[in-house]
């Protein structure tokens, strides 16, 4: 059986991944939501936008809870990601609970900024009101503490124990596509059949795909 590190190496081989960074309030739910999407390869949560060098969950100050994803633009476009972003939270300031939970987009290049401006205009027409999402270039991203990564999956320690052979380190869990799908699944995003169908299409040896599917189907939640 391959480790998730070996699986993720196969899934990213010969792919030019891109990164999207955004805040939608508490970062646990958005990580699960976006982790369920085909084309999203990796998810992680952290802190952006502030002025202090080493924010933590308890000393966040002017930083924002943020989700960062790596995705394959041949499977899911940045436009699609933005539609998921804006349609799944209310992006105006009367809903904000301070800078920690502000609606934010941190763009990585001018192409993303241009797409943001275009989709923002379309979404304002759809919502019927101006969007107040904070839109700035990425300055830095500080990875959140381990307990916040794949938060919903970690609420099932018995499952993590059964998956221990796949995850030789916390880093391998953070970077795992399979873990991102499981984190979304236990939050209610996606179905067993959808995950199995996707794994069947993953560029793995048939034996590895079958072992991964069998392990997934045996998990008790």
pLDDT value of position 15: 86
Residue 95 pLDDT more than 60?
no
pTM given for the model: 0.94
Nearest to 44, CA basis, from 207, 160, 136, 172 = 172
Average pLDDT estimate for 60-85: 97
**Structure tokens belonging to residue 52:** 């202090």
- Give the neighbor-by-neighbor strand order of the sheet with 18-24: 134-137, 103-107, 18-24, 64-71, 40-48, 142-143
Range of the domain at 84: 1-221
pLDDT value of position 201: 94
The domain tally of the chain equals 1
Residue 5 pLDDT more than 70?
yes
Q: Please report, for the domain that includes residue 138, its CATH number.
A: 3.30.1060.10
Q: Are 175 and 78 a contacting pair, CB within 8 Å?
A: no
pLDDT value of position 32: 98
Whole-number Å distance between alpha carbons of 48 and 121: 24
Which residues are part of the catalytic machinery? 26
Whole-number Å distance between alpha carbons of 36 and 85: 13
Residue 181 pLDDT more than 80?
yes
């Amino acid at each position: 059986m391959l480790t998730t590190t070996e699986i993720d190496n196969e899934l990213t081989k010969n792919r030019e991944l891109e990164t999207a960074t955004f805040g939608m309030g508490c970062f646990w739910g958005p990580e699960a939501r976006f982790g369920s999407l085909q084309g999203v390869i990796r998810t992680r949560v952290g802190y952006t936008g502030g002025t202090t060098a080493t924010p933590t969950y308890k000393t966040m100050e002017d930083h924002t809870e943020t989700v960062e994803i790596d995705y394959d633009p041949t499977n899911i476009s940045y436009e699609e990601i933005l539609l998921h972003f804006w349609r799944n939270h209310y992006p105006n300031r009367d809903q904000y609970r301070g800078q920690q939970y502000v609606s934010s987009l941190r763009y990585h290049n001018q192409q993303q900024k241009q797409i943001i401006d275009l989709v923002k205009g379309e979404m304002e027409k759809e919502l019927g009101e101006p969007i107040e999402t904070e839109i700035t270039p990425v300055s830095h991203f500080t990875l959140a503490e381990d307990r916040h990564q794949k938060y919903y999956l970690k609420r099932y320690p018995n499952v993590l124990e059964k998956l221990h052979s796949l995850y030789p380190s916390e880093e391998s869990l953070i970077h795992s596509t399979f873990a991102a799908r499981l984190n979304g699944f236990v939050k209610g995003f996606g179905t067993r059949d959808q995950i199995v169908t996707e794994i069947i299409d993953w560029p793995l040896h048939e034996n590895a795909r079958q072992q991964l599917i069998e392990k997934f189907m045996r998990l008790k939640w």
